[in-house]
Structure 1
Amino acid sequence: MKEFEDRFSELQADMISICMEYVEDRADKVYVYASCEENIISSKFFYLINNKYVKCHKVNDALDGGDERYDVSPNRMMMILNIMNEDIEKVEVLCKEYERDMPTEMKLIYEVKSGNFKADYKYDLVYTNDDIKTAGHIADEWFEEMKNKNL
């Protein structure tokens, strides 16, 4: 029992940590969207930086004038997403190994200063039964929801 929880937590921590690395640990909050549904694995991430909600490719928009710019090159972003998707695959393998239900959706929020970590899981189909929506749509809706809720 304990081993499953520990390994599950480690994989979530790895997703947060790789997103922190992307912004050189300079963020107030990190948001990770991880999805695994009907053999489709997807992830997205965004941040709260200087009281501004920004998607990963827009993090420099949140910086103050004198702040050092982030490297938001497409290669770097793909590297992060690839690592996150590998982590989601590892979660899937872990769940199978321990005969646990695999979450179809994980929303992870990490508050940098307090070290507070919050995770929200869903186990029902979120988008594969929708004619239009993809995991990307759901992640974008969450971004907008967080942004609007905290204005």
Structure 2
Amino acid sequence: MKKYEVRFSELQADMISICMEYVADRADKVYVYASCEEGVISSSFYYLINNEYVQRHKVNDALENGDERYDVSPKRQFMVLDIINDDIEKIEELCKEYEKDMPTEMKLIYDVKSGSFKAEYKYDLVYTNDDIKTANDIANEWFEEIKNNNL
């Protein structure tokens, strides 16, 4: 396999790994939204825990009684987002180095139980050409889609 593909995969794996660390490896699925468009880098992450789809600040809502609580402090959330955003920047550098198109959007889904990994990429502008929507709006729409369709 080419160096480019290996490095690209490693950076995606790093995004999933930091999200797993955030919930102490106690999630059924991890969802990472990564965006890089017109110089704007943005990301978000979500979980499926105990059959409940939750945003990162609500992961404790999905726990059973007696389960150890997660640290969902803003500081800890930003730590994870910083690492994901760093990985996005590294992917952007990697794409430049190998003269590949940089995805404007990456939707990563990791199924912890089966170990399966799915990724969807877009290369067209998603929000910078929209007068109203931001990267955050798009990420939140994806979360709604995940919940509604049990992705």
Return the TM-score normalized by structure 2.
0.98
Deviations 1:98-124 (CA, angstroms, capped at 9, x unpaired) = 000000000000000111000000000
Structure 2 distance, partners of 1:145, 1:66, is 30
Structure 2 distance, partners of 1:24, 1:120, is 25
Aligned to 2:121: 121
Query: Runs of 5+ in structure 1 lacking a partner?
Result: none
Aligned to 1:28: 28
Deviations 1:60-108 (CA, angstroms, capped at 9, x unpaired) = 0000011100000110000000010000000000000000000000000
2:82 partner amino acid: N
1:27 partner amino acid: A
The SS at the match of 1:86 is helix
Matches within 5 A, 1:72-151: 72-150=72-150
Aligned to 1:47: 47
Count residues in correspondence.
151
Pairwise CA distance, 1:33: 0.1
Return the TM-score normalized by structure 1.
0.98
Pairwise CA distance, 1:2: 0.8
RMSD: 1.0
